[in-house]
Amino acid sequence: MDDTMKKWKLAFVLLFVMGVLTACGMSTTTKSTGDGAKKEKIVIGYFPNIDHVPAMVAREKGYYEQALGENFDIEYRTFPDGGTFMTALKSGDIDGGLVGPAPVMNNFASGADVKIVSGASSGGTVVVASANSGITNLEDIEGKTFITPGIGCTHDVQFETYLQQQGNDKLTSSRIGGSLQHVTGNPAQYQGMFETGKVDLAAVPEPWASILAQNGAKVIVSTDEIAYGNTLPNTVFVVNGSLIKEKKEVVKALVQAQQQAVDFIKSQPDEAQKIAIQSIKDLTKQEVDEDIVKQAMARITYTTEINENVIKEFAQSSFELDFLKENPKLDGLVDLSFQ
């Protein structure tokens, strides 16, 4: 092959590669529009739980889009637990969203650059026992298996703190010397686990607690009884720290949309319930009864307020339960300047 032919082939390959790179070069944060302008992509994460209804409402009503304006595209991702949510947040796969405070503070204590910028809800954690477990009260749980969405998650810390407060060392997790076995799993699957006998009781968010109770499970610890039941921000809005550094106006808009959603839930509870029912059905393929959702939402207070002192107390509980290796220093975790 002569030099001229080699040069032509090389030029063709380079042009092809450049074309591929151009086609693939649509970054995860921008997208071209018809007029050549680029829209920035913001990805919001949340769970199919009743304490995450503010995100469902904001999505349905277009509050994020309204607050950010026409130069942004909003995408959504849902998660089964706080661990996978935080992994996505730290990696940049999502920009922010709703999650329990425990995985946020655990990651922050380990050096993750994440910030709580708003509350979403408080309350809603319930402990229920399978009808086949033989559990009728707290004393019956010795040696049983309990399930939570994740190890050291918000619901886990609440339940295990409550158990510690009872003063019976046997009624604690085997992880810290007690008799209870602890497993984790997606709350939408707890009913099947109850039926097969894989687990005996669950510390679970709504609406799954009410669904389990409707199907025969017994409430062992109510929202009012469990540790931090009505004081802890059970769900918070968290963002990647880089978003605050680089795009404060985006964070402010997201917090504004969060407030709009909470206000809507308070002023239009019936419509908010319908949005929650449809959203959970779309995400989990499970139809939730209207009465169940109404009961579940009654156990939850929707608010953007954050009590930093309660979060610090909760972090101390997490440390005492050995979920954190060191007593956490949470200065800088909460930034309410965008409210």
Q: What are the structural domains, with CATH classification, of the chain? A: 38-122+232-320 (3.40.190.10), 126-221 (3.40.190.10)
Which pLDDT score, from 0 to 100, does residue 30 have?
53
Question: How many Å is the Cα radius of gyration of the chain?
Answer: 23
Q: How far apart are CA 146 and CA 180, in angstroms?
A: 7
Which pLDDT score, from 0 to 100, does residue 37 have?
64
Which pLDDT score, from 0 to 100, does residue 35 have?
56
Residue-wise pLDDT for 83-119, tens only, equals 999 999 999 999 999 999 999 999 999 999 999 999 9
Confidence band for 325, pLDDT divided at 50, 70 and 90: confident
Residue-wise pLDDT for 297-307, tens only, equals 999 999 999 99
Which pLDDT score, from 0 to 100, does residue 269 have?
97
Mean pLDDT of the chain: 90
Residue-wise pLDDT for 115-170, tens only, equals 999 999 999 999 999 999 999 999 999 999 999 999 999 999 999 999 999 999 99
Tell me the mean pLDDT in the region 58-63.
98
Query: Is 12 a residue whose pLDDT tops 80?
Result: no
Query: Is 190 a residue whose pLDDT tops 70?
Result: yes
Q: Are 85 and 79 in contact (CB under 8 A)?
A: yes
Closest CA to 223 of 211, 236, 232: 232
For 290, the 3-state DSSP assignment is helix
Q: Regarding predicted confidence, which is higher, 2 or 331?
A: 331
Which pLDDT score, from 0 to 100, does residue 29 have?
52
100: left (phi over 0), alpha (psi -120 to 50) or beta: beta
Confidence band for 38, pLDDT divided at 50, 70 and 90: confident
Which pLDDT score, from 0 to 100, does residue 46 have?
98
Which pLDDT score, from 0 to 100, does residue 154 have?
94
Tell me the mean pLDDT in the region 27-50.
74
Query: Is 32 a residue whose pLDDT tops 90?
Result: no
Query: Is 17 a residue whose pLDDT tops 70?
Result: no
Which pLDDT score, from 0 to 100, does residue 19 have?
39
Q: Are 169 and 135 in contact (CB under 8 A)?
A: no
Closest CA to 99 of 236, 255, 280: 236
Q: Are 338 and 118 in contact (CB under 8 A)?
A: yes
Confidence band for 14, pLDDT divided at 50, 70 and 90: very low
Residue-wise pLDDT for 195-215, tens only, equals 999 999 999 999 999 999 999
* Terminal-to-terminal C-alpha distance of the chain: 69
